[in-house]
Amino acid sequence: MKSIKILFITIITSIVLTGCWDSVEINKREYIFAVGIDKNAKNLTFTSEIPKINEGSEEQRLVYTKDCINFADFYATSYLHSEKVISDRLMQVIVLGEDLARDSEAVKRIFDEIQRSPQMNRRVKICIAKGKAQDIINTEIPHNPIVGRFLSEMLIKLKRESYQDIYTFDEAILDLGKTGNAMIPVVEINDKSLKVERAGVFKEYELIGFLEPEEVSSIMVLLNPSKATIRNVNITVEDTNVSLGAVDITMTKKMDLSNDKLKVDYYVTLYSYIDSFIIGSNKLEDQSYLNKIKEEATKNILMVSKKTLDKLQNSYRADLLKIKEDLYKYHKQDYEKIADKYDEIFEAADINIHLDMVIKSTGLVK
């Protein structure tokens, strides 16, 4: 009986231990931090960045470039080309090349593979390269040589400040799924570094154009007024340069959909501080001068907003303002009637921004 028990325990232990048969020690792994994907004549080009964490030299990295069909093929090829095992568990950023982003089929395949993977984290950051993703990954940044870490930290910082709406793969795929449109950050080479200022406009998984920083800012005010960070408003009033900083934004919106005519009104109140004026002038004590500043600033902001709306409605026909989502959520009956022809309805929609500017303070001096 005793020997049967021992035999039984041995068999069970050997079965349980099978869980360890594919274990790989940490020093036998290579952790991808960033991957750039470009389109080539036949397939895709994957450029991966692997910091030399295991060797204790955190500021050094390896960059591999391989032509592959998809992620799975990339891992399989990498497995055969290195003595170590490639791991994507710590992947920070995926950079899509501009050519690739303009090919909706390729984007759909890549997004599907990321979404399907049990290992890849859906919260991996995502951005579009202006030009080739390979160039972005290969950029030598003197003060922060690991591009994956640099981009990840930068995108987290921008997300915290709500400069843009989407920073992760998860957010991108949810937005594209819900509305068919998304605004994804664009990374560009900036001398010996990288910058993230502009946004790429995606429609049905295809990059259709770019938005300038002030246009992104206008959209963010309408999308997420409580968190949106907008740049300073620089104006000239009576030959004096004035700079206004927005401190708080409140907004209400009103939607009306009747007879295939969509009307959306945004009522925005922007609370601002005077950031810069000129020493020796007491004009800021004069209410009429302050009113002139408000008028000029309002004109300035509305001009950019109108230009942005025009671009969204007529050039891109992309509803980045998520009006479609709001209609579905809060006016479902009306929305269902126009769901099939929403793009045309959006293009012809009457979208108005009513801006009320409030100067809360002139700073520490009058």
Partner 1 sequence: MFNQDITPYQNLSILILVSFAFQSILMPLLLSEIDGPVGWMTIIIAAVVLYFSLKPINKLLLKYKEDSFLSISNKIFPRLISRAIGIYYIIMFLIANSILMKDFAEQIKLMMLFRTPLGSIIIVILLTASYATKKGIKTIANISSITVLIAFIPYIFIMIFSTYYADYSNVFPIYPADVEGVLKSVPGAILGFFGFTILLFSNSKVTVQENNRSINKKFILFSTILYVACYLMIIVKFGIKESVHLVWPFISVMKYVNIPGFFFESTEIVGLCFQIIVTFSCICIIAYFTNIAMQETFKTREDGFFIYMQIPILYFMAAVLPGMYMMFPYIQWPIIILSGLNLLIPLIAALVDAKFKKVKNN
- Which positions lie near partner 1, rule CB under 8 A? 12, 15-16, 18-19, 21-22, 89-90, 118, 121-123, 170-171, 173-174, 177-178, 328-330, 332-333
Q: Whole-angstrom Cα distance, residue 274 to residue 271?
A: 10
CB of 159 to partner 1, least distance (A): 10
CB of 248 to partner 1, least distance (A): 22
The angle formed by the CA atoms of residues 16, 17 and 18, to the nearest 5 degrees, is: 90
Taking the least distance from each CB to partner 1, the nearer of 273 and 328 is 328
CB of 122 to partner 1, least distance (A): 5
Taking the least distance from each CB to partner 1, the nearer of 99 and 343 is 343
What is the token pair recorded at 296?
């000029």
CB of 230 to partner 1, least distance (A): 22
Go through 186-202 and write b for each residue having 16 or more CB atoms within 10 A of its CB, e for each that does not.
Answer: bbbbeeebbebbbbbbb
C-beta neighbour count of 37 within 10 angstroms: 26
Go through 252-275 and write b for each residue having 16 or more CB atoms within 10 A of its CB, e for each that does not.
Answer: eeebebeeeebebebebebebbbe
> Which residue in 295, 298, 286 sits closest to 246, CA to CA?
298
CB 224 within 8 A of CB 322: no
Q: Residue holding tokens 């599907």?
A: 112
Is residue 301 within a helix (H) or strand (E), and if so which, with residue range?
helix 287-310
Q: What is the C-alpha end-to-end distance of the chain, expressed in Å? A: 95
Taking the least distance from each CB to partner 1, the nearer of 175 and 296 is 175
Taking the least distance from each CB to partner 1, the nearer of 53 and 357 is 53
Taking the least distance from each CB to partner 1, the nearer of 205 and 277 is 205
Taking the least distance from each CB to partner 1, the nearer of 145 and 180 is 180
Taking the least distance from each CB to partner 1, the nearer of 122 and 283 is 122
Q: Whole-angstrom Cα distance, residue 19 to residue 21?
A: 6
What's 313's DSSP letter? Answer: I
How far CA 39 is from CA of 124, 149, 348, in Å, comes to 21, 24, 35
CB of 101 to partner 1, least distance (A): 21
CB of 329 to partner 1, least distance (A): 4
CB of 16 to partner 1, least distance (A): 6
Taking the least distance from each CB to partner 1, the nearer of 119 and 287 is 119
What is the token pair recorded at 218?
């206008």
CB of 55 to partner 1, least distance (A): 20
